[in-house]
Structure 1
């Protein structure tokens, strides 16, 4: 069964660091002038957003636009949880 989404994300890190943290089964890592491009297929974009956030590196979502929306939604949820105790 094919995955629903083609994903391309520019990771602002080195290829060596990306290879240590992202297994080949997740996607393809390609070194580019501005970092490392991760291309992958994803069924659930919320999971992709969580994985990207968990890496701890700055990143730029190239596609799909829906992944950018999921990253924003995750950030909103995290901020709400952080502020819940105040």
Structure 2
């Protein structure tokens, strides 16, 4: 962590992932739907047309990275829940 903002983003990412995982726990179809929604958000964060002569804004890459990290955490939390004790 380099800044307070990094710490706040990490906490927000983890809180969101935990809330998604807990709300869909025990319902693989609901978890799958939540992950699909996160993927859709990530894929549509940039409205730049394909083949545009300029790069997407930096914030788009940051948003896509955050959404990917949230998806990874949701997968990790829900997979750990599915394993037998």
Q: TM-score, normalised by structure 1?
A: 0.36
Q: Larger Rg: 1 or 2?
A: 2
Query: Could you say which structure has the greater relative contact order, defined with CA pairs below 8 angstroms and 6 or more residues apart?
Result: 2
Q: Name the one with the larger helix percent.
A: 2
